[in-house]
Amino acid sequence: MAAAGSRPPRVLSATVRFERGRWFVSFQVEVQRADPVPARPGESVGVDLGISHLAVLSTPVPDVTDENGFVANPRHLDAAQKRLRRASRRVSRRCGPDTRTGRKPSNRWRKANHDRNRLLHRVANLRRDGLHKLTTALTSRFGTVVVEDLNVSGMLKNRRLARHLADAGFGEVRRQLDYKTRWRGGRLHVADRWFPSSKMCSGCGAVKAKLPLRVRAFHCEQCDLVLDRDVNAACNLARLVQVGGSGTGVAADPDTQVSNGRRSRRKTPPCGADGVDASTPQRVSASDGDHPLVTVDCGAGVLTHAHSIRNGSVE
């Protein structure tokens, strides 16, 4: 994938890991590449992440959202849940490994476990595919992406929400937007956790004192604006950048970290601390297997990208 005339990618390190019965090896490589700049570098988009919809955008994007800006949540885990439950039941009925007594798993257990792992891999791959398509679509169109600083780990403690939230992959969306905006010279703006994106009117700026979660439509008493709750929130996020407003940080700028006193943000982002500069080599970490050029899967299922190794041979 390296452009003609540039240096070939240099492998810096490799990490092997075993996950759900498959082996993966990820390479950290240094590549020289210039990602195309966003189609609309001057524009910003507000992204409101949710559960009923994976995301709501302030501006509808063809092929990504419907005409109102909603990105459907595919809920892969829910769809697979029935089959997963059945597969897990079969695994637990069979004679599995026991570290205490040193018992080896039966062949029937291995087989059942393999079937369950296949299902889990499928859910994980579908989820990853969907999130990558969304984040690539956003960063290739808009120069600035604005998201809320959601307290994901706190929300995961809510037992009712946890599974749906983890399935929607909020944390992953934010991580991908962070490095993809950087690659393209755009920026990710993270709104303060206490920014009233839902309670504020995107038309006149009036802030409601209360807006319970079950109220799905935003109705402004000041200017009579009626809008979907999440669309209103997304518009507020987009406006936050246009008016140069009160967000607490620009994630693409390593000097300005998101800060609200709660938890210090990781100082070094996953893909390296440098801003994008097409003329300098970029160090790309693919430790969690999301960089198309460098992700290699040695297992039975091979990722769709550039180099893949199957049974030890490079295809």
How far, CA to CA in Å, does 153 sit from each of 4, 29, 59, 150, 263?
Answer: 44, 30, 28, 9, 11
The letter for the amino acid at 128 is: R
d(CA 75, CA 164): 8
Q: Position of tokens 């800006």?
A: 69
Among 223, 226, 242, 275, binds Zn ion (CB under 5 A): 223
CA trace torsion 273, 275, 281, 287 (10° rounding): 40
User: Which residue's CB is nearer to Zn ion, number 28 or number 236?
Assistant: 236
Active site residue 48: yes
Active site residue 129: no
Stretch that binds Zn ion, among 130-138, 212-220, 236-244, 297-305 (CB under 5 A): 212-220
User: Which residue's CB is nearer to Zn ion, number 67 or number 221?
Assistant: 221
Neighbours of 33 (CB within 10 A): 15
Considering only residues 27 to 86 of the shown chain, the ones binding Zn ion according to CB under 5 A are none
Considering only residues 173 to 202 of the shown chain, the ones binding Zn ion according to CB under 5 A are 201
Among 25, 124, 225, 278, binds Zn ion (CB under 5 A): 225
C-alpha angle with apex 167: 249 to 189, nearest 5 degrees?
A: 10
**Six token digits for residue 103:** 């018992």
Q: What is the CA radius of gyration of the chain?
A: 22
Among 203, 270, 272, 281, binds Zn ion (CB under 5 A): 203
Neighbours of 122 (CB within 10 A): 15
User: Which residue's CB is nearer to Zn ion, number 206 or number 273?
Assistant: 206
d(CA 61, CA 168): 20
User: Which residue's CB is nearer to Zn ion, number 46 or number 169?
Assistant: 46
The one-character DSSP state at 152 is H
Contact 238, 146 (CB under 8 A): yes
User: Which residue's CB is nearer to Zn ion, number 105 or number 203?
Assistant: 203
d(CA 165, CA 176): 16
The reply to whether 204 sits near Zn ion by the rule CB under 5 A is yes
Point out the catalytic residue in the list 149, 167, 172, 230: 230
User: Which residue's CB is nearer to Zn ion, number 138 or number 201?
Assistant: 201
The reply to whether 226 sits near Zn ion by the rule CB under 5 A is no
Neighbours of 102 (CB within 10 A): 7
Active site residue 43: no
Among 220, 231, 250, 303, binds Zn ion (CB under 5 A): 220
Among 222, 242, 280, 304, binds Zn ion (CB under 5 A): 222
Stretch that binds Zn ion, among 1-9, 37-45, 120-128, 218-226 (CB under 5 A): 218-226
Contact 117, 18 (CB under 8 A): no
Q: How far is the CB of 194 from Zn ion (least distance, A)?
A: 20
Q: How far is the CB of 200 from Zn ion (least distance, A)?
A: 9
Q: How many residues bind Zn ion (CB under 5 A)?
A: 8
Point out the catalytic residue in the list 48, 149, 167, 178: 48
Q: How far is the CB of 219 from Zn ion (least distance, A)?
A: 9
How far, CA to CA in Å, does 218 sit from each of 30, 64, 70, 92, 184?
Answer: 48, 24, 16, 48, 34
Q: Which residues bind Zn ion (CB under 5 A)?
A: 201, 203-204, 206, 220, 222-223, 225
Residues with active-site annotation: 48, 148, 230
